Structure 1
Amino acid sequence: MTEYAGDITPQQAWEMVEDGAILVDVRTAAEWQWVGVPDTAPAGAPPVFIEWVTWPGGAPNATFMQQLLEAGLTPGEKRPVVFLCRSGQRSIGAAKAATEAGIGPAYNILDGFEGAPDASGHRGGAAGWKALGLPWRQG
């Protein structure tokens, strides 16, 4: 059985994507549209977008695992998968679920796409994928 691989930084995730890992963004469709998305096309592989919780409402996505399989993530393949959310919290659950299904090694990206709020209560400027200047685009 595959073991949960743990946490990595956004920079480590980007380097892994450049080396062939798959990035799965588990934020909501609203976040993808309004906040932006990682742009992994320069690394040769577009990200996979699957909500961990649905919007609106925040209910768990009952078809999450099925959608992972439909996106081509194959149990037992041993291809690294890095999971991204807003701040690195939802993606932990997604990475662990993928691990339980034999997908991965599966990693959680610390600080996510936007990181925790800064002293002014804003996200995206102090930590996370965007703040580090990693490739992204408006959804």
Structure 2
Amino acid sequence: MSTDIGPRVSELLPTETWDCLKTLSDAVLIDVRTKPEWDFVGKPDLSSLGQSLLCIEWIRYPDMSANLRFAEDVKDALDGATPSKLFFICRSGARSLSAANAVAEAFLSEGKSVDCINVAEGFEGDVDPQKHRGGLNGWKARGLPWEQS
């Protein structure tokens, strides 16, 4: 029997996330990777949906320290809104799961319920047999819109 009464974070594949973002105008995608990852690897492009991506580091570059204000940064970026769904994405799905749990907990502590969803596989996905990311699964490999600066 589980005694864990904290918020639960669900997971969706990148394509399922895209479909939700297409149909739910108040849903928000938050990329929790670092600035170098956004700049050099790329990031999801939601412009065809008329939406903007929120980029908020879960781990701060360059010292790779925890962003202790992450949940507050998310709330500040939402400017008082409580979206129906918040999607979280990172490279492969691990950091974003932690970030989603932190935000779900922060909203719950205020008595608000927000559906926080981790994007399984992340932006680059799993490592292939050649130890490369981006071709096996994930946002990029599934052919979803993305951009690179």
- TM-score normalized by structure 1? 0.92
2:87 pairs with 1:87: no
- Tell me the residue number matched to 1:127: 137
Superposition deviation, residue 73 in structure 1: 6.0
- Tell me the residue number matched to 1:14: 18
1:4-83 maps to which residues of 2 (within 5 A)? 4-18=8-22, 19-20=24-25, 21-72=27-78, 74=80, 77=82, 79-83=84-88
C-alpha distance in 2, partners of 1:78/1:49? 16
Superposition deviation, residue 70 in structure 1: 1.2
CA offset digits 1:49-108 (Å, max 9, x no partner): 000001112111122112101111647x35101000000000001111111122620000
| Contact 1:86–1:113 under 8 Å retained in 2 | yes
The one-letter amino acid of 1:6's match is S
| Contact 2:9–2:97 under 8 Å retained in 1 | no
Point out the more displaced range, 54-63 or 119-128. 54-63
- Tell me the residue number matched to 2:110: none
- TM-score normalized by structure 2? 0.86
- Tell me the residue number matched to 2:148: 138
Match of 1:97 among 93, 102, 123: 102
Q: Rg bigger for which structure?
A: 2
Tell me the SS of whatever aligns to 1:17: helix
| Contact 2:28–2:83 under 8 Å retained in 1 | no
Point out the more displaced range, 63-72 or 79-88. 63-72
Extract structure 1 runs of 4+ deviating beyond 4 A. Answer: none
The one-letter amino acid of 1:36's match is G
In structure 2, the gaps of 5 or more residues are 108-112
| Contact 2:45–2:147 under 8 Å retained in 1 | yes
C-alpha distance in 1, partners of 2:85/2:62? 30
